[in-house]
Amino acid sequence: MKLQEMVTSIQTKADFVAFVEALEDHLETDPKAWKHTSLDDYIEAIGDWVEDMEDTLPQEPTWQIVGEKVEMENEPK
């Protein structure tokens, strides 16, 4: 299943964990596809997103919302 398909089906913590594992596999097999190739850059981007989206996130974000953001940081350079 493609990453984009996986992220739309995330409903549980287990789904999210499987998605993160698929991201790890993707990074190992195709690192050039990643916009943020260092952990520092990736974490900074996610932190910036959370800070910017503070007012628009639901009080309790779903695993799918988190997965969508994690996947967005995998967009091509």
Do you know the residue count of the chain? 77
Spatial contact of 70 and 46, defined as CB atoms under 8 Å apart = yes
Q: What is the mean pLDDT of residues 4-15?
A: 90
The pLDDT tens digits for 13-53 are 999 999 989 988 988 898 888 888 788 888 888 788 778 77
Give just the sign of the alpha carbon dihedral 10, 68, 43, 56: negative
> H helices of 30-75, where?
39-52, 63-72
Instruction: Note the pLDDT of residue 75.
Output: 59
